[in-house]
Each structure stands twice: as C-alpha cells, then as structure tokens.
Structure 1
Amino acid sequence: MEVVVDVIRNARGPLGRETLFALIEPDGLPGKTASTSGAKASLDAAKELGLLKEEARVTLAFKSDVSTRALVLDALDRQVLGGKTDVEPYFALFYAYVLGRDAEGAKHRAAQDWVKHFNADVFGDELPTNPFNPTKLSGLHRWFGYVGLGWYDPKDVFQCCPYERLRRRLSVIFQRSQRLSDVEFMNALAETCPELDGGELFLRANRDRDQGRKRCTLGLAHALIELHIDEVIRLHCGDDSGGYSLELAEPPRDGHHLRSARLDFVEYLEDRKEASR
C-alpha cells in the first residue's frame, strides 16, 4: 500500500488506473496474473482508508508532508483500530481476542482452531453472513506486525505486545494531564485504543473475562514495561499499591519506581523530551 501511495505522491498529476498498475506491476513480472494483482488490492485498501480517491483517475485524498508510512499507520489507527469495523470487521476484534487469552494466546495453535474458538466465543450461534475463516486470519497476520501490535517469535507464533500502537496514541491518552492515576490511565487507554484492555472491542471479544480483577493482559503489561524502560512513560508502582496489576509480565523491581507489580500512576515523559529540544 505504501508503494501505491508513494507512486501517486511522486507523480506530476493524477494517474489512470492502468498506468498506475503498469508502473507497479509491469508486464512480465514473475507470477503475475489477473487474479493476483497486489496493486489492485493495495489501491482498493488505500481508497477504503481515505488515502487515495479515484474518479476518472487516481489522486491523493490528503495534503500532508509526513511520511507515507506514518500516513498509513494513522489511517489504520483511525479506520481499523479506532473502534470501526466497516472497513475491516475482524482485524481489531480478533487481535483483542488473542490479547485477552494472555499466555494461551502466545502459544501455537492451528488456524482452524483459532477460527473455531473465536467464532464460538465472540458470536456464539449468530455468525455474521461473512464469517471469520482461516483465509481471513492469514491476511490479518500479515498486518499485525506492521501496525505495531506485537512480534513473531522464532517459531513464527505471534506474541501480543502493542508497544508501537500504544506509543502512537500516548499524546491522546495524556492530552489532559502528563500524569494519570492507574484508573484514569486505563480508562483513557480503553477509549483511545478500543482493542486493548477494557476497550469496547476488547470487551466484545472477551465477554467471559473478569474485568474486576484489575489485571493488565500479558501483552499490554509487556508493552507498558518496555515503554517504561525506554523512558517514554514512567510507571509508578508502590509497595502498598492496590492498582492495576502488571504481574503477568513479571516487571523488574528497581527499588525506586517499580517497587511492586501494581500501578499507582503513570507519567508521560516523551512529550516533555520533545518540548525541551
């Protein structure tokens, strides 16, 4: 998709569809057939995300100087992970489901098994007219790492860790204050990233999860600890805190800010660094 958007950005004017495809997938490209056009799929996706528009020709649907990658990620944050399911109904919902499985979600499981349990747990007997299936799951996995929702271990098993996704949204989470209590932070997180702990999509995908335990998922806890280590945020976990727990990720104790596995409050540090430069 980045390539398609870049070609239009670098063109001197709008391009016809056939010209665009010829530039990206010229005749003679190995393996190219009419039914395997990655350029067409990427163009359709870029239009759905509001990055390109097509009437007689293909043109940009935005004016911005930021990188194409940043534009694509922002569009995915808003149109796919922002609580909407009309562009892609299963991307955020399935990720929320895996995230809510904690350690079980980090183990190898056949695609058909994932699909079976996801459909049963999320939809029960009322499956959508176009239900989730192994082919759709394969397509999602190509995007999870790109969007910054986690990584793949040496056995090619996806490990939830929304570090990059969360980092991109921290300025929104902390827009009213640079320091939030554990409850304030988790509430703002759920509103800003509905596929993460406590969010609308997370709750829809994990109806049987006990939300009263105040325990972060394994993936979110890992992301928060890594952001703390990288000094993007600062986690304050006191000895006698009764706040949200990071215990699943076994946070390292430093005797200063991380004195326990339970949050008191969270500070946003990266914004201060940018302001001081």
Structure 2
Amino acid sequence: MSLLTDTTGRPERVYTLLKLLEAHGGQLGYDETVAWLQPPILRGEKNSTDAAKQTIGSARSLGVIRDEGDILLLDDPSVPSDPPAFADLVHARLRDNPSEKDRVMLEVYALFVVLTDREEGTSWIEERTVEGLADLIDIALPRPTDEPQQQKVFNKDKYSTAWRPWMVYLGLGWEGLVLPTFFPHPTVRLERELPGLGRELGVGRELAPNDFLQALARRMPYLDGGAVFEEAMRRARWRRTTQRLTVVLSDVLRELHDDGRLRLHVHGDTVGATRLAPDPTHEIQAISAVELIGGQA
C-alpha cells in the first residue's frame, strides 16, 4: 500500500494514530487500534473501519509504525510535539527515504513546479478539469517496477483525496477556494526549512545565491536544481531557454523577503546576479546575495 492508495489515511488521522500509540506506551493491538480510531457513530456500519485501516496503512507506508505480530509499535518512541513538527518528519521521510510507491508524491509536485514554469504561471492548472490535470501528470510519471506499464500511477481520485491533502499539510501549496485544484506555493515549507539552512550556511551574512540554492535543493529537491526537479524536467521533455529561477521559487523568495523571513540583496552592479521570474509588480527582479535571519521558529 501507499499514501496514494490509502486515500482516507489523511495526515491528521496518521498524527492522531501516533498520539494514540504514544498514550498507550508506544504499542497497541491492531484490532484495539482500529476500534479507537473508528468514530462511535459509525460502529457497526458497513465499511466503517476502512478509514482506520487506511490510516494504519499510511503510517506503515511512511515507516512511522511497524508490526510485531498483532501489535502495532511506534517506530520511534518520540512522537512529534505538534502537527507542524509531524509535517517536518513526513517531508524528511518522503525526501530522504521514500518507498518506491511513495516516491511519486514529490515527483508529482516537481511536475507541478516544472509545468508552472513552462507555462509561465498557473493558468494551465485552472483551465483543466481534475481528471484532465491528473492525466497530464500521469503521462510524465515513471512506473513502479511491480506494476504494468500501461496502468495509471496517478488519477483524479488519488489527486483529490490523497495527494493534495498531503501536499497542503506539508506546506507545499494551497487549494483553490472555488476550483477544486491545487496551486504549488511552498512558502510554509521553505520557511520551516530556514532554521536548518541557517545552521548549515550561517545567519546574518550575505550568501552567494548559488550557495543558498544548492543547499535549498538538497532540502527541497523538487525545486530548482534539485534531483527530483531535474528528473521532472526530463520527463516533461522541457529544456529551459532562460537562466532564471522558476516562477514558483521566485514567488516564494519574494514573499519571504517581504515578510522579513530572509533578505534578498540587490547590489548596484547586477552583472552575474541571479535573475528571478519576471514580476512587474515587485521591485526585486534579480538577486546578488541571500541573507538568512536568525531567531526563526
């Protein structure tokens, strides 16, 4: 199973499962766990345990719990203190050591970033139905080795009920208020990564854009220069003709600069500066240096 097939194993439910196991000393019988996770009002109804079982499946897929006979055990006795910390854990696991089937989660996201840049905005998302959007993404995805090559990896149900909720939870974008779709805007996730970047690169000093971008690509490999991003470009059969940052990353850097979460420096002589995607409404069109700010949560 995987995060895409256990469609009702939503992030909030998986976190609740971890807190449940923690409250029982880090272990609980499978049937007892299902009973705890099942809403009382649904008990006895047909398929009433599906959501609980799929929540357990999602937790297994992420490797945050394991089985010992009929007992479910926490993989790590230290459960994240709050939902944002759990989102950090999930993001790190999907980035660093995903199962083959869960690898698709960030591969799909990288395609959203690539296609948004190729189309110079998000109109390609807004103009498609959910089914059309999912089909466009599916065509560019690699097939797991244990599945028929003609079988879909991604479809409208996986997109709407599984993938999208996890991406929003991880701070990688937001859902439209009117259109039932997703927009890649990883401001929350990048902000959560800033403390780690500060420890790695230092704070309060001007960093060469390349140094910052290379470190960022290791932490968020679905953005510019990251391994998942580069693979998505290859699969989308797109070669960039301009040397600038993507629309998605440019928007996020400007937003974090405006919010005072980091500083983008523009020196008078912009020769060799890193260009951002054009935005006539913003003063910064290229950056000479990036400064990380200390004291961030």
Are residues 1:158 and 2:182 paired? yes
Question: Displacement of 1:100 after TM fit?
Answer: 1.3
1:99-158 Cα offsets, whole Å, 9 max, x none, are 11221454241233223332434559x947663222222221122211101112332332
Moved more, 11-20 or 1-10: 11-20
Task: State the percentage of identical aligned residues.
Answer: 26
The structure, 1 or 2, with the larger RCO (C-alpha pairs under 8 Å, 6+ apart) is 2
TM-superposed CA distance for 1:162, in Å, is 0.5
Does 1:273 find its partner at 2:295?
A: yes
Which stretches of structure 1, 4 residues or more, deviate above 4 A after TM superposition?
126-130
Contact residue 108 and residue 141 of structure 2 kept, 8 A: no
Is 1:45 aligned to residue 58 of structure 2? yes
Gaps of 5+ in 2: 1-13
* Runs of 5+ unmatched residues, structure 1: 254-259
Q: Is the 8 A contact 1:15 1:57 kept in 2?
A: yes
Query: Which region of structure 1 is more displaced relative to structure 2, 133-142 or 144-153?
Result: 133-142
With the length of structure 1 as denominator, give the TM-score of the two structures. Answer: 0.83
SS in 1 for 2:56: helix
Query: Structure 1 residues 123, 274: closer, same or farther in 2, change over 3 A?
Result: closer
Aligned residues of 1:119 and 1:127 also touching (Cα < 8 A): no
Alignment match, 1:234: 263
- TM-score calculated relative to the size of structure 2: 0.78
What is aligned with 1:252? 282
Structure 2 residue 133 is matched with structure 1 residue 114? yes
1:230 to partner: Cα distance: 2.1
Deviation, structure 1 residue 14 = 2.4
Aligned to 1:217: 246
Is 1:148 the equivalent of 2:156?
no
1:25 aligns with 2:38: yes
Aligned residue for 1:256? none
Cα RMSD (Å): 2.9
On the 8 A contact 1:237/1:262 being kept in 2, the answer is yes
**In the aligned structure 2, how far is the partner of 1:248 from the partner of 1:100?**
16
- Following TM superposition, by how much is the alpha carbon of 1:193 offset from its aligned partner in structure 2, in angstroms? 1.1
Conserved in 2, the CA contact under 8 Å of 1:115 and 1:132?
yes
Once residues 155 and 62 of structure 1 are traced to their aligned partners in structure 2, the CA distance between those partners, rounded to angstroms, is 40
Provide the residue aligned with 2:211 in structure 1.
Answer: 184
Alignment partners' CA distance in 2, 1:32 and 1:249: 54
